[in-house]
């Protein structure tokens, strides 16, 4: 599967957004062991968000690896370029 750089950026953005959602839920719900823990709905919501983040991040990382192999460039350079581009677009 051939990837273009813009696709890598979009996949990283999606993974970052999913991670932000997980962090928001952690902040909102507090520690799961605090005062009786989370409700069943909170646990389900958090686990769903966590799985989405994990899956999106895995896909982004896999695509970076594949792109690096296809382009003949070092993986760490591709990843740094992707993160730099994602970071620039947030400003």
- Note the pLDDT of residue 15: 97
Tokens representing 34 are 């605090």
How far CA 40 is from CA of 34, 45, 87, in Å, comes to 14, 9, 35
How many degrees, rounded to 5, is the angle at CA 84 between CA 22 and CA 24?
A: 15
- Note the pLDDT of residue 14: 97
- Note the pLDDT of residue 31: 81
- Note the pLDDT of residue 89: 67
- Averaged pLDDT, groups of 10, the chain, 91 residues long: 85 97 94 81 95 98 96 96 88 48
Contacts of 74 (CB under 8 A, 6+ apart): 68
């Amino acid at each position: 599967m051939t990837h273009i750089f813009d696709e890598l950026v979009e996949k990283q953005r999606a993974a970052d957004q999913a991670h932000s959602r997980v962090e928001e839920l952690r902040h909102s719900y507090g520690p799961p062991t605090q005062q009786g823990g989370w409700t069943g709905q909170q646990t389900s919501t958090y686990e769903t968000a966590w799985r989405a983040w994990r899956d999106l991040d895995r896909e982004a990382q896999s695509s970076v690896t594949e792109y690096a192999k296809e382009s003949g460039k070092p993986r760490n350079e591709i990843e740094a370029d992707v993160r730099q581009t994602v970071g620039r677009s947030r400003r």
